[in-house]
Amino acid sequence: MGTLKTFILLAVMTALFMGVGYVVGGTVGMAVAFVVAFCLNVFSWWNSDKIVLRMQGAREIDPASASPMIRTFANDVKKLADRAGLPPPRIYVIDTPQPNAFATGRDPHHAAVCATTGLLGMLNREEVAGVMAHELAHVRHRDTLTMTVTATIAGAIGMLANFAFFFGGRDRQGLIGTLAIMIFAPLAAGLVQMAISRSREYEADRLGAEICGNPLWLASALEKIERGARATINQPAERNPAMAHLYIANPLNGRGADNLFSTHPATANRVEALRRLASEMGVTSAPASPAARREAGPWG
Q: Which active-site residues does the annotation give?
A: 135
Q: How far apart are CA 207 and CA 235, in angstroms?
A: 30
Q: How far apart are CA 11 and CA 286, in angstroms?
A: 44
Q: How far apart are CA 5 and CA 108, in angstroms?
A: 17
Q: How far apart are CA 168 and CA 145, in angstroms?
A: 33
- Distances 177 to 13, 29, 132, 153, 180 between C-alpha atoms, Å: 19, 14, 44, 21, 5
Bridge-based pairing of strands 90-94 and 101-104 is unpaired
Q: How far apart are CA 246 and CA 250, in angstroms?
A: 9
4-10 — which CB contacts under 8 Å span 24+ positions? Answer: 5/146, 5/196, 6/145, 6/146, 6/149, 9/146, 9/149, 9/150, 9/153, 9/192, 9/196, 10/41, 10/149, 10/153
Q: How far apart are CA 18 and CA 266, in angstroms?
A: 34
Q: DSSP code of 34?
A: H
Task: Name the residue type at position 274.
Answer: L
Query: Are residues 101 and 248 in contact, defined by beta-carbon separation less than 8 angstroms?
Result: yes
Is 295 exposed, middle or buried (CB count within 10 Å of its CB: 0-12, 13-18, 19+)? exposed
